[in-house]
């Protein structure tokens, strides 16, 4: 597959010799080429399983979107396209740096590799920072999956709930109670303040992490025996800074005047599109089903975010190995494989973004 | 009997029969087992785990059958009965049959058959074993946390509303799924990249083809089960309205997701067993396998078609008629590759010199039972008859004929066929055959009456029944006891051989594939040099040698008379 891997010269004629001279070649392989091909095939198959794993979610999306198109139309209004787009750009850029890193590894440029990997890690962290702002904001609007969901049009929800039959009466009471508790901060301003307030827990913790990992990194940096620990501290530092950056830029973006809740006109506008939907206008929004959208949203982006975190761990592991000089021109498989994984995680986001944010 | 070793005696022409240092004893202590990266040791650990799970699931089965001796309540309440058949089914499917042949036998044999030193990713291999253990632990936890009463299928909406430990069990299934995926991934890569010189795709033993097809299914179907289980957990926890109709969800969607995995999964269970049968029948009939390419391609065909038939489990779940007809038609076509295999096995035996070794006896039992199981599948695939037979004992009998009678009997055949290779010991053929006879008779006595019960309208998953069904139920229960005792006898025979059995030669049955070329049990690294692979079914390439008590390559026969003893593993 890759020409660089063929440059290996140290194939053992005497392959049962237990003392491999090259610690980079596992004992059950005959050559670096074989080892590389094996890993490459393995990662591709793994990616296939990942795609299938997500395909369950996409299937679920397809079924519900075709069953209840109006729900998707209505509810996707509440997702912030700008933040979604910003995250898309961040991830695309991180794919670039990752690919660049693989190139550096093939050419044996370990300094370049390090820079690329650290940038990729930082981008991943920024993505998570923005995502945590979005999640917090959704939570304060009660745009949550399942029972936690509350119609954005609170009074409607209450009316619906009281009209509902006995089975949902308990849920209705619950909803009313919840509504009563949040009554008074209906305004966009106060909701935004609440979001900011909740996020401040995260940012405070992140400040702490930044300081601690910064100190650890500073102390360990010079000690040649503590390379691994120092690098891990460095990776934590980069991740924390990245997340902080993401969170604060989203807060700043909102502060610059932005309506996070669609106005009635906006909703109406959205509703005019499919004729069928317009006919149902009186009955909408149907909160019982609108929450299905947020179920889809949280399941899909949540599983994706878990994959981002997994990728960050893998990239940090690569950074540690790079610092130890593990990769050379004929041994760079791990970088290549994590890179492929990272591209897939990006690709999934590239699908999620339009499917969730850009409806209508 | 002479034991032969080469490193100490370069004059010997015989292949090494036995090494004092082999994979079983080259390192000692529990750590050398629990942290081993050796595929053979991992396989042995799987085998032990699968056996324990099998006897646990079997215990549940015996209790279930005992309850059914009489239409009145004996000792299980309706709820207790529900929980017991659920755990029986879940344990047998996810912990026994799915990992049985691929993870246990496949792990031990596949790399040796390939002449490789190990699987492609030894660490992932160990990891998948630990995932299996974790999954098993979750199942036990589900048992302790109040059981599970949904049936192994976890159908919604009941699974969303029941108060039993659905989440714990689903987490177990999720984890076991990943164990299975990693095993499959490992096998695909190993077969692609680590074949020895001379082994082209069509010189591969058919067991490897079968494992390859199985691995494809494991990799392509299991992730869907994983995400489905996860979604059901989320549904149950946060009530997100995916599968729960009260919240606007679609319960039939769950059935689609579930069977999209679980139908292919039945081929994960049967394909490796079919691979075993191809090996066993050829070796013990001393004849080249008939229709090699047909058997190989039919494995792949089964794997591919297996993905297109899941709807046949949902004929009465409210599918559209057109869809039902299409699924029915494709289901019929799946039986074609299965039948191709059966015909080829029969033709292989034709004019062969068949030896009724224990492994061969199990293979013959497989042929008989699988034919019945497969043919009754066609009754179920027919729309009109399935309306009547769905959710009756007929279905129960059908899938026990294919899962227990075929997949597990295939596993038994594999264990007996490769036992000398795995343990280095010969078991007692007499008791082995008695156990096989008991398994065969007990099995048919248990499940044949269930076909009759089903056609007469006995529904499945009930702890009670109309009095007129009692005779057949009692017959079935008696069969279950015989089956249980015979399996215990089989296990006892095998375990006894580990301590008291004769030392096994390298090639006791006269197989021509690579695993018979290395000593029994194999050394840590299997082969010193990657061996040269030829046609794995030319049985004339080996001849019996009195002195050794096993088969040796024709080239060596008569050349050497010297008696030599083992001196150790050259790896040490
Ligand atoms: C040879 C071709 C086969 C055909 C045509 C076939 C057909 C069917 C059909 C139509 C059903 C659904 C019956 C119903 O629920 O009404 C069914 C159920 C089942 N089959 Fe097969 N089958 C075949 C082979 C196998 C094999 C090889 C296995 C496993 C090793 C298997 C395992 C099962 C299981 C486990 C069920 C029932 C699952 C449940 O409802 O709990 N089948 N089969
Ligand atoms: Cu099926």
Residue B478: Cβ within 10 Å count: 16
Estimate the share of chain B in helix, then strand, then coil, as percent rounded to the nearest 5. Answer: 65, 0, 30
List of chain B residues whose C-beta atoms are within 8 Å of the C-beta of residue A145 = 238, 240-241
Taking CB atoms and an 8 Å limit, are A38 and B234 in contact across chains? no
**Does residue B178 surpass a pLDDT of 90?**
yes
Asked if B319 and B359 count as a contact pair (C-beta separation under 8 A), the reply is: no
Residues less than 5 Å from ion ligand 2, measured at CB:
B 263
Among candidate residues B192, B186, B132, the one with its CA nearest the CA of residue A46: B186
Asked if A50 and B223 count as a contact pair (C-beta separation under 8 A), the reply is: yes
ipTM: 0.90
**CA-based nearest distance A40→chain B, Å:** 9
How far apart, in whole angstroms, are the C-alpha atoms of residue A304 and residue A298? 10
> Of A189-193, B166-170, B206-210, B473-477, where does mean pLDDT reach its minimum?
A189-193
How far apart, in whole angstroms, are the C-alpha atoms of residue B99 and residue B136? 12
> Nearest Cβ partner of A28 from B117, B241, B257?
B117
Any CB–CB contact under 8 A between A16 and chain B?
yes
- At A189 the pLDDT is 64
List of chain A residues whose C-beta atoms are within 8 Å of the C-beta of residue B528 = 16
Taking CB atoms and an 8 Å limit, are B120 and A30 in contact across chains? no
Q: Is B376 in the pocket of ligand 1 (CB under 6 A)?
A: no
Give, in order, the Cα–Cα distances in Å from A61 to each of A49, A292, A303, B3, B260.
Answer: 19, 10, 14, 65, 17
pLDDT, average across residues B6-15: 56
Among candidate residues B509, B489, B419, the one with its CA nearest the CA of residue B44: B419
- At A266 the pLDDT is 52
- At A139 the pLDDT is 78
Ligand 1 center to B312 CA (angstroms): 8
For residue B196, the chain A residue with the least C-alpha distance is A30
Residue A328 has, within 13 A of its CA and on its CB side, a CA count of 10
Among candidate residues B494, B512, B514, the one with its CA nearest the CA of residue B504: B494
Q: Is B378 in the pocket of ligand 1 (CB under 6 A)?
A: yes
Estimate the share of chain A in helix, then strand, then coil, as percent rounded to the nearest 5. Answer: 80, 0, 20
Q: What is the CATH number of domain B41-557?
A: 1.20.210.10
pLDDT tier, B570 (very low <50, low <70, confident <90, very high otherwise)? very low
Taking CB atoms and an 8 Å limit, are A68 and B239 in contact across chains? no
**CA-based nearest distance B187→chain A, Å:** 10
Q: Could you tell me how many CB contacts below 8 A there are between chain A and chain B?
A: 117
> Nearest Cβ partner of B248 from A38, A45, A288?
A288
- At A79 the pLDDT is 84
pLDDT tens, position by position, B251-296 = 999 999 999 999 999 999 999 999 999 999 999 999 999 999 999 9
Residue B155 DSSP code:
-
Tokens of B52: 């324990």
Per-residue confidence of chain A (360 residues) as pLDDT tens digits? 343 343 333 333 334 444 456 788 888 888 888 899 999 999 999 999 999 999 999 998 998 888 888 888 888 878 888 899 999 999 999 999 999 999 999 999 999 999 999 999 999 999 999 999 888 888 777 777 766 677 665 534 444 444 444 444 444 444 444 444 444 334 556 667 777 777 888 888 999 999 999 999 988 888 888 889 999 999 999 999 999 999 999 888 877 755 445 556 555 554 444 444 444 444 444 556 777 888 889 999 999 999 999 999 999 999 999 999 889 888 999 999 999 999 999 999 999 999 999 886
Predicted TM-score (pTM) of this structure: 0.88
- The dihedral sign for the CA sequence A82, A83, A84, A85: positive
Ligand 1 center to A221 CA (angstroms): 62
CA-based max dimension of chain B: 81
Taking CB atoms and an 8 Å limit, are B189 and A292 in contact across chains? no
List of chain B residues whose C-beta atoms are within 8 Å of the C-beta of residue A293 = none
pLDDT tens, position by position, B24-82 = 888 888 888 999 999 999 999 999 999 999 999 999 999 999 999 999 888 888 999 99
Residues 117..156 of A with a Cβ closer than 8 Å to B: which?
Answer: 145-148
DSSP of B447-481: HHHHHHHHHTT-BSS-S---GGGHHHHHHHHHHHH
Which residues, other chains included, contact A109 with Cβ-Cβ below 8 Å and sequence gap of 6+? none
Shortest-distance Cα residue to atom 29 of ligand 1:
B266
Tokens of B90: 């879940």
3-state secondary structure B85-132: HHHHHHHHHHHHHHHHHHHHHHHHHHHHHCCCCCCCCHHHHHHHHHHH
Residue B16 DSSP code:
P
Q: If residue B497 lies in a helix (H) or strand (E), which one and from where to where?
A: helix B470-500
Element counts in chain A: helices (H) and strands (E): 12, 0
pLDDT tens, position by position, B518-567 = 888 999 988 877 788 889 999 988 889 888 888 988 877 655 444 333 33
Taking CB atoms and an 8 Å limit, are B242 and A56 in contact across chains? no
User: What domains lie within chain A, and their CATH numbers?
Assistant: 36-152+193-357 (1.20.120.80), 157-185 (no CATH)
Cis-peptide, bond into residue B157, ω within 30° of zero: yes
Asked if B18 and B424 count as a contact pair (C-beta separation under 8 A), the reply is: yes
Among candidate residues A341, A340, A330, the one with its CA nearest the CA of residue A106: A330
Q: Is B274 in the pocket of ligand 1 (CB under 6 A)?
A: no
Ligand 1 center to B448 CA (angstroms): 16
Residues 233..272 of A with a Cβ closer than 8 Å to B: which?
Answer: none
Any CB–CB contact under 8 A between B500 and chain A?
no
How far is Cα of residue B472 from the mean position of the Cα atoms in its chain?
29
DSSP of A242-296: HHHHHHHHHHHHHHTT--SS--HHHHHHHHTSSHHHHHGGGT---HHHHHHHHHH
How far apart, in whole angstroms, are the C-alpha atoms of residue B267 and residue B222? 12
- The dihedral sign for the CA sequence A15, A16, A17, A20: positive
Residue B134 has, within 13 A of its CA and on its CB side, a CA count of 16
Closest-lying ligand to the alpha carbon of B264? Answer: 2
Ligand 2 center to B273 CA (angstroms): 17
Among candidate residues B332, B437, B446, the one with its CA nearest the CA of residue B380: B332
Determine the angle formed by the axes of helices B429-455 and B470-500, rounding to 10 degrees.
Answer: 160
- At B206 the pLDDT is 96
**Does residue B5 surpass a pLDDT of 70?**
no
Shortest-distance Cα residue to atom 32 of ligand 1:
B399
Which of A120-135 are b and which e, b meaning 16 or more Cβ less than 10 Å from the residue's Cβ?
A: bbbbbbbbbbbbbbbb
How far is Cα of residue B417 from the mean position of the Cα atoms in its chain?
14
Q: Where are the beta strands (DSSP E) in B360-436?
A: 425-426
Residues 135..174 of B with a Cβ closer than 8 Å to A: which?
Answer: none
Taking CB atoms and an 8 Å limit, are A292 and B239 in contact across chains? no
In A78-187, alpha helices (H)? 81-107, 110-140, 154-163, 169-182
Closest-lying ligand to the alpha carbon of B261? Answer: 2
**What's the mean per-residue pLDDT of chain B?**
91
- At B27 the pLDDT is 86
Ligand 1 center to B410 CA (angstroms): 17
List of chain A residues whose C-beta atoms are within 8 Å of the C-beta of residue B250 = 63, 67
Q: Is B335 in the pocket of ligand 1 (CB under 6 A)?
A: yes
Q: Is B181 in the pocket of ligand 1 (CB under 6 A)?
A: no
Ligand 1 center to A285 CA (angstroms): 44
Taking CB atoms and an 8 Å limit, are A41 and B193 in contact across chains? yes
The helix/strand/coil state of A143 is coil
For residue B197, the chain A residue with the least C-alpha distance is A30
Taking CB atoms and an 8 Å limit, are B222 and A57 in contact across chains? no
List of chain B residues whose C-beta atoms are within 8 Å of the C-beta of residue A138 = none
Q: If residue B551 lies in a helix (H) or strand (E), which one and from where to where?
A: strand B550-553
The helix/strand/coil state of B503 is strand
Among candidate residues A247, A256, A253, the one with its CA nearest the CA of residue A207: A247
Closest-lying ligand to the alpha carbon of B270? Answer: 1
**CA-based nearest distance A45→chain B, Å:** 7
Taking CB atoms and an 8 Å limit, are A18 and B571 in contact across chains? yes
Shortest-distance Cα residue to atom 7 of ligand 1:
B377
Taking CB atoms and an 8 Å limit, are A56 and B194 in contact across chains? no
List of chain A residues whose C-beta atoms are within 8 Å of the C-beta of residue B222 = 49
Using DSSP bridges, classify how beta strands B425-426 and B502-503 pair: parallel, antiparallel or unpaired: antiparallel
B239 backbone φψ class: left, alpha, beta (φ>0; ψ -120 to 50)? left
Residues 279..298 of A with a Cβ closer than 8 Å to B: which?
Answer: 288-289, 291-292, 295, 298
Asked if B407 and B97 count as a contact pair (C-beta separation under 8 A), the reply is: yes
pLDDT tens, position by position, B293-344 = 999 999 999 999 999 999 999 999 988 899 999 999 999 998 999 999 999 9
- Interface-testing mutation among B212, B225, B226, B239, with chain A (most A C-beta atoms within 10 A): B239
**CA-based nearest distance B238→chain A, Å:** 6
The helix/strand/coil state of A237 is helix
Pocket test for ligand 1, best of B329, B398, B454, B455 (most atoms within 8 A of CB): B398
């Amino acid at each position: 597959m890759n020409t660089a891997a063929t440059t290996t010269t140290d194939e053992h004629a005497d392959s049962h010799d237990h003392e491999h001279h090259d610690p980079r070649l596992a004992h059950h392989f005959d050559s670096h080429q074989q080892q590389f091909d094996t890993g490459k095939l393995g990662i591709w198959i793994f990616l296939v399983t990942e795609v299938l794993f997500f395909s369950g979610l996409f299937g679920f999306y397809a079924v519900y979107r075709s069953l209840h198109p109006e729900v998707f139309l209505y509810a996707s209004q509440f997702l912030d396209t700008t933040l979604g787009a910003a995250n898309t750009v961040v991830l695309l850029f991180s794919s670039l740096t990752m690919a660049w890193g693989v190139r550096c590894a093939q050419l044996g440029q370990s300094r370049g590799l390090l820079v690329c990997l650290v940038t990729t890690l930082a981008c991943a962290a920024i993505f998570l920072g923005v995502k945590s702002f979005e999640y917090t904001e959704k939570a304060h609007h009660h745009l949550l999956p399942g029972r936690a969901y509350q119609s954005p049009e609170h009074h409607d929800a209450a009316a619906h709930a009281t009209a509902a039959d006995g089975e949902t009466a308990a849920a209705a009471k619950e909803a009313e109670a919840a509504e009563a508790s949040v009554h008074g901060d209906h305004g966009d301003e106060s909701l935004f303040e609440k979001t900011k307030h909740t996020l401040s827990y995260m940012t405070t913790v992140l400040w702490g992490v930044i300081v601690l990992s910064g100190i650890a990194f500073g102390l360990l940096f010079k000690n040649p025996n503590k390379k691994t620990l120092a690098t891990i501290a460095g990776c934590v530092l980069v991740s924390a800074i990245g997340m902080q950056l993401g969170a604060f830029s989203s807060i700043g973006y909102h502060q610059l005047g932005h309506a996070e809740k669609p106005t009635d006109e906006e909703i109406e506008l959205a509703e005019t599109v499919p004729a069928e939907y317009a006919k149902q206008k009186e009955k909408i929004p149907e909160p019982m089903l609108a929450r299905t959208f947020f179920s889809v949203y949280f399941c899909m982006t949540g599983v994706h975010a878990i994959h981002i975190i997994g990728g960050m761990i893998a990239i940090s592991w690569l950074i540690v190995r790079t610092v130890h000089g593990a990769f050379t021109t004929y041994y760079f498989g791990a970088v290549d494989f994590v890179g492929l994984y990272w591209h897939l995680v990006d690709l999934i986001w590239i699908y999620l973004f339009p499917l969730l944010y850009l409806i209508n | 009997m002479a034991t032969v070793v080469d490193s100490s005696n370069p004059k010997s022409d015989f292949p090494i029969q036995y090494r004092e240092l082999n994979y079983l004893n080259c390192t000692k202590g529990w750590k050398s087992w629990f942290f081993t990266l050796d595929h053979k040791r991992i396989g042995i650990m799987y085998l032990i785990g699968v056996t324990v799970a099998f006897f646990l699931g079997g215990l549940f089965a015996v209790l279930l059958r005992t309850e059914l001796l009489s239409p009145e309540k004996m000792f299980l309440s309706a709820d207790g009965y529900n929980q017991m058949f659920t755990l029986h089914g879940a344990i047998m499917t996810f912990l026994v049959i799915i990992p049985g042949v691929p993870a246990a036998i496949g792990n031990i044999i596949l790399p040796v058959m390939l002449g490789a030193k190990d699987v492609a990713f030894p660490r992932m291999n160990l990891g998948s074993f630990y995932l299996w253990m974790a999954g098993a632990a979750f199942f036990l936890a589900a048992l302790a946390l109040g059981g599970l009463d949904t049936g192994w299928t976890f159908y919604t909406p009941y699974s969303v509303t029941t108060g039993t430990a659905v989440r714990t069990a689903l987490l177990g299934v999720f984890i076991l799924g990943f164990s299975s995926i990693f095993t499959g991934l490992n096998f695909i890569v190993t077969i692609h990249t680590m074949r020895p010189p001379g082994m082209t795709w069509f010189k591969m033993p058919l067991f490897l083809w079968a494992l390859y097809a199985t691995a494809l299914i494991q990799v392509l179907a299991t992730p869907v089960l994983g995400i489905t289980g996860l979604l059901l957990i989320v549904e149950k926890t946060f009530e997100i309205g995916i599968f729960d109709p009260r919240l606007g969800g679609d319960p039939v969607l769950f059935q689609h997701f579930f069977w999209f995995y679980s139908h292919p999964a039945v081929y994960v269970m049967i394909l490796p067993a079919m691979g075993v049968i191809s090996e066993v029948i050829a070796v013990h009939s001393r004849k080249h396998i008939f229709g090699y390419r047909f058997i190989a391609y039919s494995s792949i065909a089964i794997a591919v078609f297996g993905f297109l038939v899941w709807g046949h489990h949902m004929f009465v779940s409210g599918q559209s008629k057109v869809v039902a007809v299409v699924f029915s038609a494709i289901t019929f076509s799946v039986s074609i590759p299965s039948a191709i295999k059966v015909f080829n096995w029969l033709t292989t035996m034709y004019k062969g010199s068949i030896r009724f070794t224990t492994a061969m006896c199990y293979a013959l039992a497989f042929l008989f039972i699988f034919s019945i199981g497969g043919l009754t599948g066609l009754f179920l695939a027919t729309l009109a008859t399935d309306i009547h037979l769905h959710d009756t004992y007929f279905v129960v009998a059908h899938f026990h004929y294919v899962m227990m009678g075929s997949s597990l009997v295939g596993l038994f055949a594999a264990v007996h066929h490769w036992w000398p290779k795995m343990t280095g010991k010969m078991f007692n053929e007499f008791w082995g055959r008695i156990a096989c006879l008991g398994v065969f008779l007990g099995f048919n006595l248990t499940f044949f009456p269930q076909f009759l019960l089903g056609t007469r309208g006995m529904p499945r998953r009930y702890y009670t029944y109309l009095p007129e069904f009692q005779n057949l139920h009692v017959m079935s229960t008696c069969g279950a006891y015989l089956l249980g005792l015979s399996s215990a006898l089989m296990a006892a025979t095998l375990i006894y051989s580990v301590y008291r059995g004769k030392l096994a030669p390298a090639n006791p049955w006269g197989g021509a594939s690579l695993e018979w070329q290395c000593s029994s049990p194999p050394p840590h690294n299997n082969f010193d040099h990657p061996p040269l692979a030829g046609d794995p079914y030319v049985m004339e390439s080996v001849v019996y040698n009195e002195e050794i008590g096993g088969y040796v390559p024709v080239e060596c026969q008569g050349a050497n008379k010297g008696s030599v003893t083992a001196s150790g593993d050259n790896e040490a």
